[in-house]
Structure 1
Amino acid sequence: MSISPLSPLEDIKTRSRFLRGTIAKELENPVTGAIPEADTKLLKFHGSYMQDDRDIRDERRKQKLEPAYAFMVRARLPGGVISPDQWLALDELAQKYATRGLRITTRQTFQWHGILKRNLRAFMQGIHDARATTIAACGDVNRQVISSVNPHLSSQHALTQAWVQRLSDHFLPRTSAYAEIWLGGEQVGEAVDEEPIYGNDSAYLPRKFKIGIAIPPTNDCDVFANDLGLVAIIENGELQGFNVAVGGGMGATAGDPTTYPRLGTLIGFTRPEHVVAVAEAVVTLQRDHGDRKERQHARLKYTIDRLGVDWFREQVGLRAGVPLEPLRPYRFAHNGDRYGWSRGEDGRWHLGLYIASGRLWDQDGLRLQTGMREIARVLQGEFRLTCNQNLVIANVDEADRAAIDALVEEYGLDGYKEQSGIRRHHIACVALPTCGLAMAESERYAPVLLPKLEALLDAHGLRDAPILLRLSGCPNGCSRPYLGEIALVGRALGRYDLRLGADFIGERLNVLYRENVAEAEILSSLDALFGQYARERVADEGFGDFLVRVGVIQADPRGPHAAVPDRKASAA
């Protein structure tokens, strides 16, 4: 364990009695819609953030009212797989307790906004009744484990989904606090807990930790953006194991050059029987060596850059009890989602739907939330949420396709058929009005910005060109903006950093092109670049690759292979 002085949050965790704090007591306080600051930090481990409506914050202050506090709740749904019965139960909770419907996150799960404090317990109990949970969906622990959603190769999805579930279960906190607070579990005598992975001093990890599994040739989960990325190596239908990447992370702090986005570094290959031990070695190395003094430097990426990739690779082998093997060959082709019907190798069908910014809500003449509810009532297969905020209606029989199509058309869920290339590949974080970190608009700005970008693209004959667009209300990176061919990162209301030049497979970060600019300069800059791209691109060349090739930007050299000079030899 680090001997540096503990940050204030470290003290809160170690004094929390394994994440209890005074949450249970404060939920019963009718005087305020909030809970104390220390408890808000602990509440994250239970899957919830306290927020307030920033649109009306000033008005309420003038009226001498406290902010309009409410809570965001996030579920833990490993790999984003949901049964129709679960969908209906989670949708019912949204109707009863939440505002703005269901929202698909960039980590393959649902989150709900606007839950009042007095309803939190009932909401959590409802998620439990739906055979799901919210524990460790947030906080300084391993969070939601994500994976590729490839509708063509259903057998491969099944192979990796089993490991997604196993890894998710393995890293769940063991504390009984969750059951006591939310599920009516009674504490008998003094609470006795232990956390064999996260530490019996109840300090847990220095910061959040994320795991992702990708199935080549699809990198739709941006596997190298995770603290631990696993690239599945499947040959002749058999899972051979995983290439292991460590140290990915998207967050940065505005104005602090010591913080930065980073892609995970590939350090070796592990066989299936060793993957849990390797994952635990990575997690516990971060537990023991992560920076607990400065939270801005507490993610695994900083630990690795401080101590060195070679040292970290060796330590993983020692803790896992087996050294990592040379990397296996793989190839990514894209990291976007597939839309429309696809037939899997087993003959069953999968329908990919485009969901703008992941928001399933009945508004603007569309009834998306109602439509998905009606589909869930007849579906015999399952739903799969994607890391690009879309969803797949999976494992549909041929005989049921017509009924699904009719509902998709009736409720306006067929927008994927006519969307532009840039609209189909955009991601936007929630940002204002609920996110306390937001510096600019994101989700609410997307429908304003996209038509303007489409007009520019139309003028240059590029409407169908697939371009990765990422919008973020702040530098923290929930929408993975640093992996966008075009990205806007919020700096203030109406002002963004314009970043350009990531690739379309998630193996290259973008770079800063224009700093702290308003919409007019953003559109002017992109208009000129779109024109150059239309005139000078080569066949099948992505926008980001083009910008690097012609020298508009200099590519960021940091990538998953940067610290593995023998990759070609090991992949031969």
Structure 2
Amino acid sequence: MSEEQKLSANEPLKLNSNFLRGTLAEDFADVSTGNISADNQQLSKFHGMYVQDDRDVRAGRRKKKLEKAYSFLIRVRMPGGVVTPGQWLKMDWLADEYANGTLKLTTRQAFQLHGVIKRNLVQTIREMDSVVLDTIAACGDVNRNVMCNPNPHQSEAHAEALKLATEISEHLLPRTGAYREIFLDGDKVASNEEEEEPIYGKTYLPRKFKITVAVPPSNDVDIYAHCLSFIAILEGGKVVGYNVSVGGGMGMTHGQEDTFPRTADVIGFCTPEQAVDVAEKVVLVQRDFGDRCNRKHARLKYTVERMGADGFKDKLEEYLGYALQETRPFEFTSNGDRYGWTEDANGNSHLNLFIPGGRVVDTPAFPTKTGLREIAKIHDGDFRLSANQNLVIANISPEKREQIEALLEQYKLSDTHVKSALRLNSIACVALPTCGLALAESERYLPDLITELEETIESAGLRHDAITIRMTGCPNGCGRPFLGEIAFVGRAPGKYNVYLGGGFHGERLNKLYRESVPGGEIKALLSPLIEDYAKQRQDGEHFGDFVVRAGYVAETTAGNNFHLNVAQ
């Protein structure tokens, strides 16, 4: 094997980890440090957690010769983002008891706890287990949390989408007993048979793998941004099957032109009975043909780009033993959330709340966390986390609606969606101070930047016109920035690459408009474009389409190294 073909360091690490055990149990038991070894940091991801430190206090602790302020991010596996009121209450309690007092709703429809110190880690996992929640495969080189469209106003279709998301999640879970041994009972399951991973094998996947299930006309799960997606095809309100898309992905690296975002290709149609099998076989193709030498090229999007969509489909059908059917017609009309109240045919009500940055926290003005806790105490339906970091209080019975409306009023939650459409269509990743990859602020800065842009939006008469706006602290794409009509990607402290022209339905990548723009100059940069859009747009034309038509940026196509051509 040549030097160029040498396996990445993670491959032998996984192979020699004894099915993801490593020395994690011993490391977590060592409270002389808040950190764990570099190898165990990689293995811990498979169990749903990352080591982080508070970068705001790094310099001060360094001067005092103290260890970094290490803690763990814990991510929960919850297919489709659906949890019971009891599970909500447990997570609310854990946030206060062991984390930093807040709950983060992620863009993968999951909870994140931040600030869990090592000595509390195992107990936190055990508390989750008591309400049938876990963190298995929430991170790592495996299939991660499976997303689906909440669609509270399409109950039957949502039920089918959630069923599929749950079945895929369970089918693709790692089979190792490591999680239970390390975090729950500490005992190795007795067996005379050698442990095996029937789907993943000893080295699992080359990189992370992401799956979504969408119900048109809503593309709120952003199917074009993911490795594998199932697009529900409805006839008479019933799901008759799914179009299959493969090869989407958002991450890239600044300055490395062979890394790029890619939109997924729709390659065929499968029946509901075939969907789990299709999911497994796509994973197997990626397991066998993904790049295990260069982790920057190890995602499925690069496998599909290298093989071609048709070539990948041919290999998939070889693994399946049957052919996919021809793609069925479908249409998306947005990739945002539907806010406010809706009712279904069963008489139940659903309320979609806007949660800024997905951060459930109490502030003096808006005691959101307390309000949702009180609602959970009486709610007899469920909660659904959206892929846009928002929350649906779902299946509110007629008997409970009046009580819940009173609590919404009491805790100032009634009008969370009475905001500009720009703000309601925003996403920000966590970034600083905890993410080790962040180059610039995101969650803490985007609300202020939107406030500045709203001055232009209001004066241009665009308050109620939806424009998707996304910000991330680095180019790894956790907030799916490269599909935003307007997006900001951290380049350095206080500086952002500005992207324009993504498709409103999530179907088209945006294009780099300006590099390394200081935050204080963004309003001046974008205001003329926004004003031009207000004056020159055609009927029904979205902002992303306008900036392409007007020549501010060129249109992109799937798989292009879109970031190469900077607008002049």
TM-score (norm 2): 0.96
C-alpha deviations, 1:54-77, integer Å up to 9, x for none?
000111011100100000000000
Structure 2 partner of 1:165: 166
Structure 1 partner of 2:428: 428
Q: Structure 2 unaligned runs (5+)? A: 561-568
Aligned to 1:563: none
Instruction: Quote the Cα distance in structure 2 between the aligned partners of 1:328 and 1:48.
Output: 39
CA contact (8 A) 1:354 1:391 kept: yes
Tell me, yes or no, if structure 1 residue 352 matches structure 2 residue 348: no
Distance between the aligned counterparts of 1:396 and 1:528, measured in 2?
45
Q: Which stretch of the first structure deviates more once superposed, 346-355 or 101-110? A: 346-355
Is the deviation greater in 71-80 or in 95-104? Answer: 95-104
Aligned to 1:508: 508
SS at match of 1:366: coil
Secondary structure of 1:380's aligned partner: coil
Distance in 2, Cα, partners of 1:462 & 1:239: 37
List aligned pairs for 1:294-443, cutoff 5 A: 294-443=294-443
Asked whether the equivalents of residues 481 and 487 of structure 1 are also in contact (C-alpha less than 8 Å), the reply is yes
Structure 2 letter corresponding to 1:123 = T
What does residue 52 of structure 1 align with?
53
Q: 1:227 corresponds to which letter in structure 2?
A: C
CA RMSD of aligned residues (A): 1.7
Instruction: Tell me which amino acid in the other structure corresponds to 1:167.
Output: I
Q: Give 1:566's aligned residue.
A: none
Q: Hey, what does 1:111 align to over in structure 2?
A: 112
Deviation of residue 250 (structure 1)? 0.6
State the match for 2:565 in structure 1: none
Farther-moved stretch of structure 1 (480-489 vs 390-399) = 390-399
CA distance in 2, matches of 1:415, 1:7: 50
**Structure 1: runs of 5 or more not aligned:** 561-572
Letter in 2 for 1:468: T
Alignment TM-score, normalising by the size of structure 1: 0.95
Give the Å deviation of 1:409: 2.0
Q: Which amino acid aligns with 1:23?
A: L
**How far is 1:415 from its partner?**
3.9
Secondary structure at the counterpart of residue 102 of structure 2: strand
1:446 aligns with 446
Q: Secondary structure at the match of 2:341?
A: strand
For residue 154 of structure 1, what is the aligned residue in structure 2? 155
Is residue 357–residue 389 contact of structure 1 (8 Å, CA) maintained in 2?
yes
The answer to whether the aligner puts 1:195 opposite 2:181 as a matched pair is no
Report the CA distance between 1:100 and its aligned residue. Answer: 4.0
Does residue 469 (structure 1) correspond to residue 469 (structure 2)? The answer is yes
Aligned residue identity for 1:133: D
Does the residue aligned with 2:109 lie in a helix, a strand or coil? coil
Conserved 8 A contact 2:353-2:417: no
Provide the secondary structure at the position in 1 that maps to 2:387: coil
CA contact (8 A) 2:31 2:118 kept: no
Secondary structure, aligned partner of 2:430? coil
Q: Which digits, 9 at most, give the CA deviation of each residue in 1:443-500, with x for residues without a partner?
A: 0002221110111111212122111010100000000000110000000111000000
Displacement after TM superposition at 1:189 (Å): 7.0
Distance in 1, matches of 2:401 and 2:539, equals 35
Aligned-pair distance for 1:229?
Answer: 1.1
CA distance in 2, matches of 1:407, 1:12: 51
- 1:384-403 deviation per Cα after TM superposition (whole angstroms, max 9, x unaligned): 10000001011112332222
Q: Distance in 1 between matches of 2:64 and 2:177?
A: 41
| Structure 1 SS opposite 2:416 | helix
Structure 1 partner of 2:73: 72
Alpha-carbon distance in structure 1 between the residues aligned to 2:208 and 2:189: 31
The whole-number CA distance in structure 1 between the counterparts of 2:194 and 2:134 is: 22
Greater displacement, 299-308 / 190-199:
190-199
C-alpha separation in 2, matches of 1:73 and 1:322: 40
Deviations 1:170-223 (A, max 9, x none): 000000000000001412679942101001xx1100000000010000101101
* Aligned counterpart, 2:535: 535
Give the conservation status (yes or no) of the 8 Å contact 1:508–1:559.
Answer: no
Q: Residue type of the partner of 1:147?
A: C
Letter of the 2:427 counterpart: I
The equivalent of 1:7 in structure 2 is 8
The range that moved more, 505-514 or 190-199, is 190-199
Q: Which residue of 1 aligns with 2:459?
A: 459
Contact between 1:226 and 1:247, CA under 8 Å: does it hold in 2? yes
1:559 Cα shift?
7.5
Structure 1 residues 188 and 129: alpha-carbon distance in aligned structure 2, compared to 1, 3 A threshold: closer
Give, in whole Å, the separation in 2 of the partners of 1:474 and 1:168.
28
Deviation of residue 408 (structure 1)? 1.4
Q: Partner residue of 1:568?
A: none
- Aligned partners of 1:509 and 1:559 also within 8 Å: no
Equivalent-residue separation in structure 2 for 1:85 and 1:188 (angstroms): 29
